[in-house]
Amino acid sequence: MSRIGSKPVSIPSGVTFNFANNKVSVKGPKGELHQSIDPDFVIKQEDGTVLVERPTEQKRHKSMHGLYRALIANMIEGVSKGYKHQLELVGVGYKATAQSNVLELSLGYSHNVFLAVPSEIKVQAIQEKGQNPTIILEGIDKQLIGQVAAKIKSLRKVEPYKGKGIRFTGEFVRRKAGKAAAK
C-alpha cells in the first residue's frame, strides 16, 4: 500500500477542486492549475478532502498512485500559498537584472546570458550592498518553478574549490582542499 497515495489531501477555504473527464482543475486566490489523470484512477472529493484510489495492485497503478496524490497536493498548495525559490550568485562581478520576464545574468563569461522566464513565473533580481545578488522566483506551479530554477543553476554550476556559482539560498556546498603546498 502506498503511504503517500492513501493519505487524503485537505482543501483549504477559498480553493475549488473539480474532477471531470480525467482532468483535475484547482482554482484558488493565486490562480488556476490543470492536470490530466489516468482514466483508471478514482478521485473522490468528500467534506473538504480529496482521496486518490487506485483500481488494482498492478505495478503501474502502484507507482502512479502516490504520484497523482502528490501532484494534486502540490496544485492545491500552489493556488492557495504559492511557491518561492531564492537563488544567490556567488562570485566576483556576478550580477543579475530582471526586466519584465527576461533575466540578464553576468556570470564571468565574455558575454551576458539572457534567459526568458515563462510568464506564469514572477522573477525579481535583488542586489544589496555587501550581499550576493539574489534571484527570487515566485509562481503557483511547483514543477515549472523548479525547472526554471534548475535551468538558472545550470548556467554556472557551483565549483567545489572556491564555491563560486549559482546556488539556492542556504544550500550547503561541500568544499575541497586545493593543491598541497610543494616543499
pLDDT, tens digit, 9 for 90 and up, residues 121-173:
999 999 999 999 999 999 999 999 999 999 999 999 999 999 999 999 999 99
Evaluate whether 55 touches 64 at the Cβ level (below 8 Å): no
List 6's β-bridge partners, or say none.
Answer: none
Please give the pLDDT value at position 5. 86
| Res. 179 pLDDT band, cuts 50 70 90 | confident
Residue 7 CB partners (closer than 8 Å, separation 6+): 69
Res. 182: pLDDT tops 70: no
Of 139, 149, 98, 142, the closest CA to residue 119 belongs to 139
| Cβ neighbours, 10 Å, residue 5 | 21
Question: Where do the domains of the chain lie, and which CATH numbers do they carry?
Answer: 9-80 (3.90.930.12), 83-168 (3.90.930.12)
**Average pLDDT, integer, range 43-58:** 91
Residues of the chain with pLDDT > 70: what percent? 97
Q: What angle do CA 150, 111, 138 make, to 5 degrees?
A: 30
Please give the pLDDT value at position 180. 80
